[in-house]
Structure 1
Amino acid sequence: MDMERVGALHNLAVGVGEILALVFLFGLVLLCLYLLYLYLSDITQTKQAIRRNYPVIGRFRYKFEHLGEFFRQYFFALDREELPFNRAQRAWVYRSAKNIDSTLAFGSTRPLNQPGDIVFLNHPFPTLEKDAVPPREIVFGGHYVREPYTTSSIFNVSGMSYGAISVPAIKALVDGAKRAGVWVNTGEGGLSKHHLASGCDIVFQLGTAKYGVRDSEGHLSDTRLGEIAAHPQVRMFEIKLSQGAKPGKGGILPGIKVTAEIAETRGIPEGMDSISPNGHPEIRSVADLLDMVAHVREVTGKPVGFKCVIGTSDWLRDLFQEVHRRGIASAPDFITLDGADGGTGAAPQSLMDYMGLPLVRSLPLVADLLAEYNLQDRIRVISSGKLVTPSGVAWALAMGADAVVSARGFMFALGCIQALQCNKNTCPTGITTHDPDLQQGLDPVSKAERVFNYAHNMAHEVGIIAHSCGAREPRELRRHHVEMIDEQGVPRPMNETFPPVQTSPEWLIASDRRGGEPG
């Protein structure tokens, strides 16, 4: 009986072995056929010389090229050398968004001799906790609009259009923003029901294509504009002239991301590429710009400003002179200043790499011009462009910004891993894709908590910097609190690099003479 059992097991083993041998042989045949197919495909194609000259193995070159960006990010790039954001910057955002310990040990890995870097000057008698105060409130519009906007927030969510980012991402942003008491900019894609779900403050961006407020011919519709303004939580309107990563180029949303709901929100056909004009056809001069500001302000009754990237700056002088000719009431209520280091979902590399002034130059330039024309108390400055850590936000406030907005910082808070696939429908974190399978990885509830934590901890640490400088709150930071490292690696006072501007007496007189009436 035992011998029979042994024999049966032997026969079974032999049978299994034969089956495995056949499977292996079959697999080997399939592999050979597949390699033959690749070989013939490579030597007959004419698009890629490497594959034609080195069939099959030449394919590895393109695979390694694709994988290289991921290997560099995780294995080869040092903490502070990666672009557009290095590991140290991303790590701080991740830690603050998760509300975990953000302290470090042993010493900073940041070199202190890189030209253009900044250092803050600590005061020998820092502000004590009992003397510290929350950021002071600022008012947009003042008595020049029917419904001015008052806020104490220093760090807010910059424009990210519905379409460029997903529904779960918007839900998380607006819910977290409501808890943190910060505003959310809609981006140029219009106002969706998802923006309104939480009750947070909204800044409506009026882009060159007039998405969300356009008529059937694509022109600005006062009726639609009034409908948007009727929502109490829509607090301001921002006319978008240009964007940091692509000045002179309109928004780009591939047709694959234009769903039925996005098409309805924007007022465009479903599934077609959404390409915004590179400028407003009705705004061809500073006079036209002020006319548009006045018109939108009259229709909506709310503060109106514009967003731009600074390249040539002569037009700003023309603008501010025109304001004084018309009267102080004609001024825009704010300017959102985007640096050339700003981001986007899709832009030509020639513009992203070479066009426009970085914020380190444009912010002090605009702040100084406002002071020269005595408009610094009338026109608020909102700063944007790669400001994702407390040092950047504190620097912007010291240089003259009244508030700061960030898009990519809040994307990191949502879980962005800098996969650089925003212009595709393949974002692995579900933030910039409309693929339901990828979106399911982004839980709006847990990510809203991270958005809140990031905004809250940002304000807290900017306050720490201000207190170390001897200021009671972040909006008391000034240029004399900051130094910039020069080409010799030596810190130089910022108020020497960009000295304070004295207001020209003629503009003081003009301001008094043409005070204007409330809008």
Structure 2
Amino acid sequence: MELDLAVRFLVIAADSFIGLILIALVLFVIYLIFLYCIDITQTKHAIRRNYPIIGRFRYTFEHLGEFFRQYFFAMDREELPFNRAQRSWVYRTAKNVDSTVAFGSTRPLNVPGTVMFMNCVFPTLTEDAVEAKRITIGPYCHEPYATASLFNISGMSYGALSSPAIQALSTGAANAGIWMNTGEGGLSEYHLQGGCDLIFQIGTAKYGVRDSDGLLDDSKLKVIADYPQVKMFELKLSQGAKPGKGGILPAEKVTAEISKIRGIPEGQASISPNGHPEIRSVQDLLDMINRVRRITGKPVGFKTVIGGSEWLDELFHAIQRRGEEYAPDFITIDGAEGGTGAAPMSLMDYVGLPLAESLPLVVDKLNEYGLRERIKVIASGKLINAADVAWAICLGADFVTSARGFMFALGCIQALRCNKNTCPTGITTHNPKLQKGLVVPDKAERVKNYAHNMVHYVGIIAHSCGLKEPRELTRHHARIVIQSGQSILLSELHPDVISSAHRKNEENIIIRKKS
């Protein structure tokens, strides 16, 4: 009797299962017919119209191709914007695990543009090495900023990044003793929670310090300056991702909180002007720098992508006429290699000079006008590995900042979804379900490790060159491969420039010796 009941139950279950399968198949066929009708009647896509249903796979494979190339097909040094070798180094140093490799380098050494550092036959011993020297920024300010931090966090706004990402960066920066740039999106509580030193960036939309007309509000600026963590102010003229265009924040990322911080309408796309309405000349720029410095009492500089040198001549001439005290305290040079921000491809790919050309250009101009000691230089633009940072110091940078390097330290997998609010790692999304994967204490530790290990490995390069600390690196300590496949010293490619006053003095000495 019990066996008979069991058999009946199995028969009913089997019939039900088969029935469900049949229903599912019928629904699937109806769905395919529905898709077929849509594809054959639509007029926007020729492939789908000519090959209904099957043509849809093209778009699926095109989308999946990005991920398959990253994990299965691309070699270690083939991907863009950052290859697997570059990312892996950041991941290992952020996790504080062994970053050594075996069996020789996979990096080709005969490709034009390849940089090689010149080791010394008598390298610096560990016991003779010293910490990076402290540099004072803004000697004419009421509150100058003195720091030894070599490698710092570049501008990334709250809004573009999620709140846990900002918290992790802020906490990690404080633990590493480095500064963090707020980006143009204003000062949030998440920037302050970690306790790190901050550079407040004033973008073209003046987020956080704007009046009703979108211009700079002195009273709001003073409120920001009163935060002791805010050490400097940076006027953003342009950025590497989109020189000549303002910041872009999609509407879905403009939450009520971000609306309040920035002073903009909630749920509407936030698009900054492509320039400061108050700054239309070098005179205007100097006026604005000194206005902000007067109100805040703190160092003020500007960030820009270099597109030519003529305006630099005009700017430095104006500074010489006004006096050194009116000069910007620092210049952040962003390379045209792109950045974390979403941008039109026409700007991302084709506008502005890369850092390899713009950094030595600006440093040489500062030397020519005798302003190199007065104005500090910050290099920014695709610098995420120790060799990148050492190279920038060789060319004359006082400091290096990175945004994407620290995003990798947070766990970024280069999914290229920064502007979609669908970032799978929770770094650039406001989706709570995706944000929960980013655990602040764990990621803050990785940020600290990455910053510390960066300085450590830049130090190793400097020590191999016979130097005691990284900031002693010069253009005489590195070579670069040219078109022939041979290498020349950076100092040959970019000869050191001396000021016109110094040159005239040397000429007078030579004349006196001859006479």
Counterpart check, 1:55 vs 2:52 = yes
Q: How far has the Cα of 1:8 moved from its partner? A: 3.5
The yes-or-no answer on 1:69 pairing with 2:66 is yes
2:498 is paired with a residue of what secondary structure? coil
| Cα distance in 1 for residues equivalent to 2:212 and 2:417 | 33
Instruction: Give, as a single letter, the amino acid of the residue that structure 2 aligns with 1:466.
Output: A
Secondary structure of residue in 1 paired with 2:152 = strand
Q: How far 1:38 moved relative to its partner?
A: 1.0
Asked whether the 8 Å contact 2:370–2:501 carries over to 1, the reply is no
- Contact kept? 1:373, 1:507, Cα under 8 Å: no
Deviation at 1:506, TM superposition (A): 7.7
> Contact between 1:214 and 1:220, CA under 8 Å: does it hold in 2?
yes
1:208 and 1:25 map into 2 onto residues whose CA distance is 61
Q: Does 1:236 align with 2:232?
A: yes
Structure 2 residue 449 is matched with structure 1 residue 450: no
- The one-letter amino acid paired with 1:28 is L
Alpha-carbon shift at residue 508 of structure 1 (Å): 8.6
Structure 1 residue 259 displacement after superposition: 0.6
What is the CA-CA distance between 1:341 and the residue it aligns to?
0.8
Within 5 Å, which residues of 2 pair with 1:176-187?
176-187=172-183
Q: Which of 84, 88, 97 is equivalent to 2:85?
A: 88
Residue 216, structure 1, aligned to residue 205, structure 2: no
Separation in 2 of the partners of 1:400 and 1:158?
18
Q: Distance in 2 between matches of 1:489 and 1:362?
A: 23
- Within the candidate set 341, 355, 360, 2:356 is matched to 360
Aligned residues between the structures: 505
Please state how far the C-alpha of 1:179 moved relative to its aligned partner. 0.4
Cross-structure match for 1:517: none
Structure 1 pair 162–439 and aligned structure 2 pair: CA distance change class (3 A): same
CA shift for structure 1 position 503: 1.2
Matched-pair contact (CA < 8 Å) for 2:241–2:341: no
- Alpha carbons 2:143, 2:299 under 8 Å: kept: yes
The separation in 1 between residues aligned to 2:249 and 2:9, in whole angstroms, is 61
Equivalent in the alignment of 2:313? 317
Distance 2:473 2:11 in 1: 83
1:132 aligns with 2:125: no
For residue 101 of structure 1, what is the aligned residue in structure 2? 98
Paired residue for 2:512? none
Q: What's the CA shift for 1:5?
A: 4.3
C-alpha deviation, 1:6, in angstroms: 4.2
Aligned residue type for 1:461: Y
Letter paired with 1:21:
I
Counterpart contact for 2:113–2:480, Cα < 8 Å: yes
**Which region of structure 1 is more displaced relative to structure 2, 482-491 or 377-386?**
482-491
**Residue 153, structure 1, aligned to residue 149, structure 2:** yes
Of 13, 18, 25, the residue aligned with 2:15 is: 18
Q: 8 Å contact 1:203–1:238 — kept in the other structure?
A: yes
1:208 and 1:279 in contact (8 A); partners too: yes
* Structure 2 Cα separation of the partners of residues 360 and 235 of structure 1: 28
Shift of 1:483: 0.5
Aligned to 1:515: none
Instruction: Give TM-score scaled by structure 2 length.
Output: 0.97
Give the Å deviation of 1:34. 1.0
Distance in 2 between residues matched to 1:353 and 1:385, nearest whole Å: 14
Bigger shift: residues 387-396 or 45-54:
45-54
Structure 2 matches for 1:40-439, cutoff 5 A? 40-142=37-139, 144-439=140-435
Q: For 1:368 and 1:307, how far apart are their aligned partners in 2?
A: 17
Amino acid at match of 2:29: C
SS at match of 2:349: helix
2:301 aligns to what SS in structure 1? strand
Alignment of 1:486-501 (within 5 A): 486-501=482-497
Deviation of 1:72 after TM superposition, in Å, equals: 0.4
- Residues in 1 aligned to 2:6 and 2:254: alpha-carbon distance in whole angstroms: 62
Residue deviations 1:279-312 (CA, integer Å, cap 9, x gap): 0111111111111111100000000000000012
Confirm or deny: 8 A CA contact 1:374 1:507 kept in the other structure. no
Aligned partners of 1:140 and 1:149 also within 8 Å: yes
Work out the CA distance in 2 between the residues paired with 1:214 and 1:13.
73
Paired with 1:240 and 1:449, the residues of 2 have a C-alpha distance of 29
The residue aligned with 1:513 is none
The alpha-carbon deviation at position 22 of structure 1 amounts to 1.4
Question: In the alignment, residue 67 of structure 1 is paired with which amino acid?
Answer: L
Sequence identity percentage: 66
The answer to whether the 8 Å contact 1:324/1:507 transfers is no
Question: What secondary structure sits across from 1:212 in the alignment?
Answer: coil
* Divergent runs of 4+, >6 A: 506-509
